[in-house]
Amino acid sequence: MARYYNKSVVVDAWLFDGSWWSAQQFVHQPCMRAMWSDQGGGEIVIETLEGVMRVLPGDYVIRGVKGEFYPCKPDIFLAAHELIVGDHVR
């Protein structure tokens, strides 16, 4: 067994709040589509290399270092990422 350090990279990410407006920020990508139920709840579907993944309200959508998109649950995202404001990490 070997140990590895997770390299720090800067990524773009969006918080999906379940609204149509929130979805329109990034569903113009060919790998994504937005879906709404009759009850008004929204979700985004992303086609990834690992298969089709759902983005639910409260999840983050991340654009990876190679331009790929994938969802991330908020607890995992916030444990691994810090917000950059201007030139400073916050």
Q: Are 77 and 62 in contact (CB under 8 A)?
A: yes
The string of pLDDT tens digits covering residues 29-82 is 776 766 666 555 678 888 887 888 888 889 999 888 888 888 999 999 999 888
pLDDT score, position 39: 59
Q: What backbone torsions phi and psi does residue 79 show, to the nearest 5 degrees? A: -75, -25
* Predicted confidence band of residue 86 (pLDDT cuts 50, 70, 90): confident
According to the model, what pLDDT value does residue 38 have?
56
How many CA atoms lie less than 13 Å away from 43 in the CB half-sphere? 11
What are the E-state strand segments in the chain? 12-15, 32-36, 42-48, 51-55, 60-63, 69-72, 84-85, 88-89
pTM of the predicted protein model: 0.77
Query: Using one digit for the tens of pLDDT, what is the confidence trace for 1-31?
Result: 878 777 778 888 989 888 877 777 766 677 6
